[in-house]
Structure 1
Amino acid sequence: MSDTQPQQAPGQSPTSGPEAAALMTGAQVYARLLRYIRPFLGYFAISLLGYIIFAVTTPATAAWLGWTIDQIEANNADARIISPILCVLIVLARGVGGFLGHYSLEHTANHVVHKLRCEVLDQLLNVPIAYYDRNTIGRLVSKVTYDVMQIKGAATNAITVVLREGLTVIGLLAWLFWVNWRLSLVFLLVAPCMALIVHMATKRYRRYSRQMQDSMGDVTQIANESIKGQKVIRTFNAGEYVSERFLRSSERNRRQNMKMVVTEATATPLIQLIVAMAMAILIWLALAPEFLGGASAGEVVTFLTLAGMLSKPLRQLSGVNAIIQRGISAASSIFELLDNERERDTGTHTAGRVKGLVEFDQLQFAYESAKPVLNGITLRVEPGTTVALVGRSGSGKSTLVNMLPRFYDYQQGEIRLDGVPITEYALNNLRQQMAMVTQDVVLFEGSVAENIAYGLGEEVTLEKVQQAARNAHADEFIQKLPGGYDAQVGDGGGLLSGGQRQRLAIARAFLKDSPVLILDEATSALDTESEQHIQQALAELIRGRTTFVIAHRLSTIENADLIVVMDQGRIVESGTHKELLALDKHYARLHRMQFSESGLMNPLDSDSESQASESAG
């Protein structure tokens, strides 16, 4: 449980990377997205070839139709055989070209999406912890799911339409100019009008796409909270409140979608109207004797068919802009995440197994520069020593222990492990020296054995897992589970009790066997029997390790080698249980309050803690 709620990465202003991604133009974002295609240029070339074949068959169909009409008028008997064969060959070529284009592009796009997903998850695993403090889980999940799928649309559907229909338009226009270049100029005259409509629609598309992503993140967040907190929701009869919140977020998302639909539904018919007007002018001119007066019936049919075929690809090209802009907006959101600064890992020092000497030297830290959370912390912890941190919520206890594995980086002072500043350790090596057991146990989908051995690699044997479970007093309940160590724990360990989850976390720490141990309220909110089991397990776990214990129940830390009392980010007193009682100050008053006849078993979790601290001051 955190003592304070971080607001910003420690000592870090917003990096230029995410800002730069947010300020990139649509073309720049799309160009960056297309760079992911480079490893698959061979498949992209096959796709391009396929769509060229597909595009050629469209004007070829018009030419075949005109030629067939001319052969009928000329009573060419051979045309009876040649024309059907040409018809089948054109359709066959169209099918082969469409297959090559679609399959190759889908192959490329799915690899791009796979790579992006992996990069996003890898980045989420490497950004500073403070990044999660500033972003909701729903928005981050939305990036991996919704945003990536929008990119897939821009990388597959949009490119498919652009290549296939774009090449078709080029082929049709080229043939039209070949047949009669003067009539074909009509289409060039309407191009500026079409470009203006597309430009105006593009601005709206991108703005609404960003709003859609934000609202989708809210929808995902509320849904995620509703599923995880369904017991609390039902206990407090908050179903109606949650439904109203979800209704508002979903309604906002619906409105943004409808704005996008309105823009798309307006821009596409306008472009179609302009094309139709150009077609009407073209037909009116084509029927004039001076333009096609000397042409055969087949040539007239070919020309009008070519002009008529332009409508469909132009209509599809006008609609693809919405898909592209949604993809660009989604890509911009993902690139903002990918451009965030990762955890600083510039250390090169590695150690096999440290002794466990921990030194805090004038440590200063603030989530916000104006509000220091740790202020001048100086403390020396000898190897194998158990140190208990006591103080009211917000005094900086959890923040202090979170400094050890470098979840946050301090601004001033220094922390040394075996005499070496922790910033000089390679990050993986530093965290290899530490194990942590917290109140909120995190279990992952999988078996009991997989959760105990989580992250430790395949070299961990079942015998070692079972030994760790026995040390944690977990083997007795594991053996009773259906499947034993192969039993599934459920989502977040939902199939286990709180005490069972806690013992699995302790078994995980046993198996890791790190010389430095952090226990952050590891026994709070448990029943008496479970707490006894866990206290026995913890007593074995801390033996021979440098241990930091945060506990609100003072009875659980009376045997600690050193008790440190913190208040407002400072150490106000320290010593053994007997020494602090003899001082008759902060710790003594808190101890009397907790064990007084009033029955306050945990004053540090209540308003009385603040009163006690104030009176102790």
Structure 2
Amino acid sequence: MDSNNSTNLAVNNTNKAGQGSAQSEEVKQGKGETANWRAFLQLIRNTKPSIPLLTLAIIMSVASTIVALVIPLFTKNLVDGFSLSNLSWSQIGGIGGIFIVQTIASGLSIYMLNRIGQKIVANLRERLWKKLLVLPVSYYDNHRTGETISRMTNDTGVVKSLIAEHTTGFFTGIISIVGSIIVLFYMDWQMTTVMLAIIPVAAVFLVPLGRQMFKISKGLQAETASFTTVLTQVLSEIRLVKSSNAEAREYDSGNKRIESLFGFGLKEAKVQALIAPLMFFVIMMLLVVIVGYGGMRVSSGALTAGELVAFILYLIQIVMPMSQITTFFTQFQKTIGATERIVEILDSEEEDHTTGKSVEHADQPITVSHVSFAYEKGDAVLSDISFRVEPDSVTAIVGPSGGGKTTLFSLLERYYEPTAGLIKLGPDPIGSFSLHAWRSLFGYVSQESPLIAGTIRDNICYGLDREVSQEELLQAAKMAYADLFIGELPSGFETEVGERGIKLSGGQRQRIAIARALLRDPKILMLDEATSSLDSKSEVVVQEALKNLMAGRTTIVIAHRLSTVVDADQIIFVEKGTITGSGTHAELLQSHELYREFATQQLRLNDPAAISLPQEAS
């Protein structure tokens, strides 16, 4: 007996705990929905919509709805008192005037709300665009470009759709339904009660279908963002796809997304296929009830024919807004999902470009002191790096691929912050300078030499906040040895370079990048494998251009080809994130085994043993 009681008590406690957990989940969900509402409203408030225009639009929309509520009463009086002798031009003119006023008010309110919606989404996209440009490089390391583009275009479009297209229908629909029901109860409460009894029956079927539609819509948005990512990735690297014969692979990958989108579309179609007939069934049931029951009351004298006609018109004013309200809530749920993703971007930590001091004296040594760095949730890329770069000197960073050389450049440009250690310019940590002032010191020429879609002039002048004269442009092109090939082009500096400069050769792109750096007149120059992908003829020309660029500047070079850095003031050898040697070319030949091996292979030193002779002699 005691055992049974204990068992029952345990079961009861378990059930209570389960109920408590379920209630807790419901409370959390309720709080989450409230937070989502608030996040959405705060997002809209931050776009600063025109309150007077919004108020006027809502007033006109409400006025239009109220006028629509009066029309059935006019119709009732017209039907009840209809005869040719009683029909006057003033009645016809009055009804016509009401229709015209309602149409104008409704049209103006729709235009104004659309204008407000368009303005809100424009401000929202402006905020997002501004934010995307000041997000740190680490954000783009962790987020795919296609998804970010989808947030900027698709998700903001969902917000606009809710405000411009569905909000009006929601508010006017509520007014229309409430107003119609009040008038109907005033006219005949018994018939109104019978009519409204059908609506809960319809809700039993329509509410679950609405929830299902929301889930499908949310999945469709996520899948659309993934599909956008695939398209962006493949089409931006179409030459890689074709050179790798990867068309079939990418077709299969894209086709899976298309099939997934098709699947969501079918699910949406199935739900709509249930909703539409159910709505039609409800409307027909209501009409049958009103006409049948109303006809009985008309014949008994409890209701006039005009009142029956008014009932049918008010029924339409109840049923039509109900579909609008249902659509609003479905769209609102979509918008909540879009808002979460937009707010996630807007709340992301951004770079501060203005805080800090300006750089008064750039001609000071750069000191890297015990710097370590690891990417988020990754192993250390750099460990306890220390070296010094003297002003107006050339420092070369060499070593095997994957050693952390490019990461070191990223730290110098403050794309990332060191996880340990300090980088200084003279006595000042580089973090004490404003980002804008610090990055203004640098000229950067990389292996890829990225160009923007536009003209050669656009690319050479890119990033400058001043007007560049034709003489300056020609001088920069001449020093970069770019003037010859630019002069041979039909449109000269106005020649379109194509997406990412694809219409130009590698050497031409490099020389345009050098011309761009020359116009910036940087104090510190960083060259990242600037000649590694060029043929020997282009390399000679680019090397000459680089000499012009490096003159009188502090230069830091990453190079795999030792022939480009043998004359550097100091060479730093980086292996697996640590510095294993530093000195001049001659010093490293004697003291660093792996550097000597690199030099033997690349500089064709046929007798490596001879390298150590000066050391032995000394």
TM norm structure 1: 0.87
Shift of 1:405: 1.4
Whether the aligned pair in 1 keeps the contact of 2:476 and 2:518 (CA below 8 Å) is yes
Residue 275 of structure 2 corresponds to residue 253 of structure 1: no
Gapped runs of 5+ residues in structure 1? 1-20, 599-617
Structure 1 CA distance, aligned partners of 2:249 and 2:359?
53
How big is the shift at 1:274?
Answer: 4.7
Corresponding position of 1:99: 107
C-alpha distance in structure 2 between counterparts of 1:194 and 1:421, whole Å: 70
Tell me: CA distance 1:25–1:263, structure 2 relative to 1, closer, same or farther (3 Å).
farther
2:79 to 69, 84, 90: 69
Matched, 1:167 2:175: yes
1:336 and 2:356 correspond: no
| Counterpart in the other structure of 1:408 | 416
Aligned equivalents of 2:98, 2:337: Cα separation in 1: 39
Q: Secondary structure at the match of 1:146?
A: helix
Indicate the residue corresponding to 2:386 in structure 1: 378
Letter in 1 for 2:246: A
Distance 1:242 1:61 in 2: 60
Q: Which residue of 2 aligns with 1:573?
A: 581
What's the offset of the Cα at 1:188?
5.4
Q: CA separation of 1:61/1:249 partners in 2, compared to 1, >3 Å: closer, same or farther?
A: same
Contact 1:360/1:378 (CA < 8 Å) preserved in 2?
A: yes
Q: Specify which of 12, 29, 37 is matched with residue 27 of structure 1.
A: 37
Q: Is 2:321 the partner of 1:313?
A: yes
2:16 — aligned with what? none
Q: Partner of 2:70 in structure 1?
A: 60
Say if 1:446 and 1:488, in contact at 8 Å, map to a contact too.
Answer: yes
Once the 2 structures are TM-superposed, how far is the Cα of residue 199 of structure 1 from its aligned partner?
Answer: 5.6
Higher mean alpha-carbon deviation, 214-223 vs 426-435, is at 214-223
Please name the residue that 1:151 is paired with: 159
Residue equivalent to 1:470: 478
For residues 554-606 of structure 1, give each alpha carbon's deviation from its aligned partner in whole angstroms, at most 9, with x where no partner exists. 111111111111111100001111111122512111111234599xxxxxxxx
When structure 1 is superposed on structure 2, of 170-179 and 367-376 the one drifting more is: 170-179
Preserved contact between residue 205 and residue 325 of structure 1 (Cα < 8 Å): no
Contact kept? 1:113, 1:148, Cα under 8 Å: yes
| Rounded Cα–Cα distance in structure 2 between residues aligned with 1:525 and 1:93 | 72
In the alignment, the residues of structure 1 paired with residue 73 and residue 275 of structure 2 have an alpha-carbon distance, to the nearest angstrom, of 32
Please state if 1:211 is matched with 2:219: yes
Q: Per chain length, whose mean CA-contact separation is higher, i.e. which structure has more relative contact order (CA < 8 Å, sep 6+)? A: 1
Do the aligned partners of residues 336 and 368 (structure 1) sit closer, same or farther apart at CA in structure 2, a change above 3 Å counting?
A: closer
Alignment partners' CA distance in 1, 2:334 and 2:198:
27
The 3 A distance-change label for structure 1 pair 197 and 557 is: farther
**SS at structure 2 position matched to 1:72:** coil
1:449 and 2:449 are equivalent in the alignment: no
Equivalent of 1:522, from 485, 506, 530?
530
**Percent of pairs identical after alignment?**
30
Cα offset, 1:497, TM superposition: 1.5
Rounded to whole Å, the distance in 1 between the matches of 2:203 and 2:52 is 32
Q: Which residue of 2 is the match for residue 388 of structure 1?
A: 396
Higher alpha-carbon deviation: 471-480 or 102-111:
471-480
Partners of 1:163 and 1:462 in 2: how far apart?
60
User: Against the structure 1 CA distance between its residues 187 and 108, is the aligned structure 2 distance closer, same or farther, given a 3 Å change threshold?
Assistant: farther
Give the alignment of 1:165-244 within 5 angstroms.
165-186=173-194, 189=197, 200-201=208-209, 203-244=211-252
For 1:432, the aligned partner's letter is S
Q: Which residue of 1 aligns with 2:123?
A: 115
Deviation of 1:444 (Å): 1.5
CA contact (8 A) 1:127 1:342 kept: yes
Residue 60 of structure 2 corresponds to which residue in structure 1? 50
The 3 A distance-change label for structure 1 pair 336 and 93 is same
State how 1:577-592 maps to structure 2 within 5 Å: 577-592=585-600
Distance (Å, rounded) in 2 between the aligned partners of 1:127 and 1:204: 36
Contact 2:241 2:247 in 1 (8 A): yes
Q: SS of 1:547's equivalent?
A: strand
Q: Mean alpha-carbon deviation: is it higher for 168-177 or for 273-282?
A: 273-282
SS at match of 1:522: coil
User: Given residue 58 of structure 2, which amino acid in structure 1 is its aligned partner?
Assistant: L
Instruction: Assess if the C-alpha contact under 8 Å between 1:356 and 1:546 holds in 2.
Output: no
Partner of 2:436: 428
Count of aligned positions: 576
Cα distance change of structure 1 residues 191 and 564 upon mapping to structure 2, 3 Å threshold = farther
Q: Is the 8 A contact 2:216 2:267 kept in 1?
A: yes
1: CA distance between counterparts of 2:32 and 2:74? Answer: 51
- Cα distance in 2 for partners of 1:93, 1:220 equals 45
User: Is 2:499 the counterpart of 1:491?
Assistant: yes
> Judging changes above 3 Å, is the alpha-carbon distance between structure 1 residues 203 and 542 closer, same or farther for their aligned structure 2 residues?
farther
Moved more, 282-291 or 562-571: 282-291
